[in-house]
């Protein structure tokens, strides 16, 4: 090891030895237990829910459930960085994120930051073990919610209760949530724009709360991808259902997303790995004009482009993860990887579809489901443009203030 470089730094790009056995077990579970049921799980309906429950029980029995959540909540207690490598293999099948209990983690981490002891007792353990489900509701139909300072849902205190009015949409799992964490405007115009919103726990069912139509994303309705309208009409909840303090909603939402985005990106890399495997297998096995596709330079270009995009994205994600782990905020890095990885996945899956011809577009291969996920990846958790703007602005500010963006020292 060269002077000044510790071995951990060098090894961070490959999966560290300590995490490999567990990661291999997760990969095997995903391949043997989840991938064979992917189509049934992804096209949804009540039978898929029963199947998902059975697979969740298997994951729990195998000790692979909620590996990134603290042990005291009922999880596996892995450190963030270690769990990032696990997410890379979780991403090899879309439904795995639910079957392996990964979904509630970032919401629970956010709750843990500011919740009262009672809220922690009520939500952290039960959500982690899957006893209760939480949905998270910010987005609204009538305003561009990528600028959430525009959201119109209001909550007003009346005696000892919040009275909430508004409408939300694209709220994942709202149909089966026991609680919806609703972002609502609680403060007046005299308060700064970003400090006017709060998060409030709303139980389901509640008088005045209606879960509306499912909004199918590119036709997909599945156990994990059901996204719903939610209408709130004079919904009353106790004042103590506020999460944290008044006006803290956005700050908390940001906290929710930093590690969540790393995990997302690692899962997208895992999905890209699967598409890349399929692409390479097909290139070697399919013949045209007396030669395998692999001999065609146009196909070699696809392999080259996919390899460089995946490798570049992976190094960027691990760099961002290492920075977060060391206590840096890494806002530029996290915004950048969210865009780079979602785009990378879309392109790699697209190439894999292309080399399979018509079959690539059909339910015989997982690629069509992956393609849809890749496409919406460019919109969820902030559309590309919002992140691009944030990165551009932050770097330009450094120069305006007389510094530069020296990659060697970042
Ligand atoms: C599968 C899926 C699951 C989701 N789950 C949830 C959930 O559980 N809870 C929840 O609250 N929301 C959820 N959402 C909603 C998601 O978070 C929002 O769609 C996203 O934040 C964008 O908001 P919007 O749809 O209102 O788009 P808008 O804000 O209307 O933006 C539309 C487009 O405008 C462009 N744009 C925006 N800002 C800029 C800019 N600064 N510069 C240039 N162009 C710009 C972008 O191209 C953007 O896509 C989900 C969405 C999907 C697709």
Residue burial 112-132, b: 16+ Cβ < 10 Å; e: rest: bebbeeebbebbbbbbbbbeb
User: What are the residues whose beta carbons fall under 8 Å from the beta carbon of 241, sequence distance 6 or more?
Assistant: 162, 200, 201, 202
- Cβ 389 under 6 angstroms from ligand 1: yes
Rounded Cα distance between 244 and 248, Å, is: 7
Distance 387 CA to ligand 1 centre (A): 12
**Per-residue pLDDT at 112:** 92
Specify the residue with its C-alpha closest to ligand 1, atom 28: 144
- Cβ 171 under 6 angstroms from ligand 1: yes
Q: Three-state SS across the chain?
A: CCCCCCHHHHHCCCCCHHHHHHHHHHHHHHHHHHHHHHHHHHCCCHHHHHHHHHHHHHHHHCCCCCCCCCHHHCCCCCCHHHHHHHHHHHCCCCCHHHHCCCCCHHHHHHHHHHCCHHHHHHHHHHHHHCCCCEEEECCCCCCCCCCHHHCCCEEEEECCEEEEEEEEEEEECHHHCCEEEEEEECCCCCCCHHHCEEEEEEECCCCCEEEEEECCECCECCCCCCEEEEEEEEEEEEHHHEECCCCCHHHHHHHHHHHHHHHHHHHHHHHHHHHHHHHHHHHHHCEECCEEHHHCHHHHHHHHHHHHHHHHHHHHHHHHHHHHHCCCCCHHHHHHHHHHHHHHHHHHHHHHHHHHHHHHHCCCCCHHHHHHHHHHHCCCCCCHHHHHHHHHHHHHHHHHCCCCCCHHHC
CB atoms within 10 A of CB 246: 15
CA distances from 410 to 225, 266, 314, 399, 404 (A): 37, 21, 17, 15, 11
Cα atoms in the 13 Å half-sphere on the side-chain side of 7 = 3
**Per-residue pLDDT at 10:** 46
CB atoms within 10 A of CB 258: 19
Are the C-beta atoms of 345 and 310 separated by less than 8 Å? no
Distance 139 CA to ligand 1 centre (A): 7
Atom of ligand 1 nearest to the CA of 137: 11
Specify the residue with its C-alpha closest to ligand 1, atom 14: 170
What does the block give as tokens for 38?
Answer: 């992917």
CB atoms within 10 A of CB 327: 7
- Cβ 292 under 6 angstroms from ligand 1: no
Specify the residue with its C-alpha closest to ligand 1, atom 32: 144
Pick the closest to residue 173 from 317, 346, 71, 52 (CA basis): 52
Rounded Cα distance between 347 and 25, Å, is: 29
Length, in residues, of the chain: 410
pTM: 0.94
Are the C-beta atoms of 26 and 64 separated by less than 8 Å? yes
Candidate from 142, 146, 197 with most ligand 1 atoms within 8 A of CB, to mutate: 146
Beta bridge partners, 161, equal 158, 238
Are the C-beta atoms of 92 and 84 separated by less than 8 Å? no
**Per-residue pLDDT at 409:** 83
- Cβ 138 under 6 angstroms from ligand 1: yes
Distance 134 CA to ligand 1 centre (A): 20
Q: Which residue has the tokens 């956005």?
A: 250
- Cβ 376 under 6 angstroms from ligand 1: yes
Are the C-beta atoms of 151 and 183 separated by less than 8 Å? yes
**Per-residue pLDDT at 410:** 83
Rounded Cα distance between 237 and 160, Å, is: 9
Rounded Cα distance between 303 and 348, Å, is: 9
Write out residues in the chain with pLDDT < 50, as ranges: 1-7, 10-11
- Cβ 26 under 6 angstroms from ligand 1: no
- Cβ 170 under 6 angstroms from ligand 1: yes
């Amino acid at each position: 090891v060269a002077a000044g470089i510790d071995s951990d730094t060098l090894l961070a790009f490959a999966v560290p030895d300590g995490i490999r056995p567990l990661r291999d077990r997760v990969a095997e579970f995903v391949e043997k237990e989840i991938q064979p049921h992917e189509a049934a799980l992804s096209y949804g309906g009540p039978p898929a829910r029963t199947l998902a429950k059975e697979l969740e029980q298997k994951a729990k029995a195998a000790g692979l459930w909620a590996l990134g959540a603290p042990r005291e909540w009922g999880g596996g207690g892995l450190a963030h960085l270690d769990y990032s490598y696990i997410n890379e293999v979780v991403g090899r099948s879309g439904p795995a994120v639910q079957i392996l209990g990964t979904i509630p983690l970032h919401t629970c981490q956010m709750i843990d930051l500011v919740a009262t002891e009672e809220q922690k007792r009520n939500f952290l353990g039960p959500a982690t073990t899957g006893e209760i489900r939480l949905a998270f509701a910010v987005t609204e139909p009538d305003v561009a919610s990528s600028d959430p300072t525009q959201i119109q849902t209001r909550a007003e205190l009346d005696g000892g209760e919040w009275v909430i009015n508004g409408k939300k949409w694209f709220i994942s799992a709202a149909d089966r949530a026991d609680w919806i964490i609703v972002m609502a405007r609680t403060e007046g115009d005299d308060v700064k724009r970003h400090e006017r919103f709060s998060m409030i726990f709303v139980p389901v069912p509640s008088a005045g709360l209606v879960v509306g139509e499912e909004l199918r994303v590119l036709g997909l309705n599945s156990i994990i991808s059901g996204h719903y309208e939610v209408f709130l009409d004079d919904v009353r909840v106790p004042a103590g259902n506020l999460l944290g303090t008044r006006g803290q909603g956005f700050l908390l939402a940001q906290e929710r997303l930093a590690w969540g985005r790393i995990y997302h990106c690692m899962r997208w890399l895992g999905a890209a790995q699967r598409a890349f495997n399929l692409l390479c297998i097909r290139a070697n096995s399919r013949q045209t004009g007396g030669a395998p596709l692999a001999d065609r330079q146009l196909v070699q270009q696809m392999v080259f482009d996919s390899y460089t995009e995946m490798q570049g994205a992976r190094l960027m994600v691990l760099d961002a993860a290492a920075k977060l782990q060391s206590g840096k905020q890494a806002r530029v890095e996290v915004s950048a990887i969210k865009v780079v990885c979602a785009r990378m996945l879309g392109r790699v899956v697209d190439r894999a579809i292309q080399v399979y011809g018509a079959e690539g577009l059909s339910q015989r291969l997982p690629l069509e489901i992956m393609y849809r996920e890749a496409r919406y990846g460019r919109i969820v958790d902030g559309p590309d443009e919002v992140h691009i703007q944030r990165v551009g602005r932050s770097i330009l500010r450094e120069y305006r203030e007389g510094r530069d963006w020296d990659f060697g020292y970042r």
